[in-house]
Amino acid sequence: MEKLRNILKWFLPLLFIAYLGGITLFTHSHVVNGVIIVHSHPFKGEHEHTETQVETIFFLSSFVTSSLPAVLFVAPAFLILLCVLTVPGVERIKCVKARCGISLRTPPQNN
């Protein structure tokens, strides 16, 4: 469990940074049949997309869904992840009473 938490502690922020960088750093546009299509992905130099790729980009950029199915899946997944990440690491320490040595208790009083 500790190993999973340690992996997620580094993987999730790196995944977010990679995603955010991918959608902001590589934005470019194409003109296809008089329509400007703006999207983002890493590329080198000039490149073209096939008709199928352009269609996929169009459908992914205009995807609409009801929020109910998303909430039904995302909420339990988020709660499970939150439980995994917030469980504190517990260390058990066994204290052994020393039989000899310095005692902080005063000696008994004789009256």
Does residue 2 sit within a domain? yes
In the chain, how many domains are there?
A: 1
Q: Would residue 81 count as lying in a domain?
A: no
pTM surpassing 0.85?
Answer: no
| Sign of the alpha-carbon dihedral angle for 59, 62, 65, 71 | positive
6 occurs within a structural domain: yes
30: Cβ–Cβ under 8 A, 6 or more apart, which residues? 36, 37, 39, 48, 49, 54
Does any domain span residue 61? Answer: yes
Interval 58-65 mean pLDDT? 68
On whether residue 65 sits in a domain, the answer given is yes
In a domain, 86, yes or no: no
* Residues spanned by the domain of 9: 1-70
User: Could you report the per-residue pLDDT of 71-95, keeping only the tens digit for each?
Assistant: 677 778 888 887 777 766 666 666 6
CA distance 26 to 55: 19
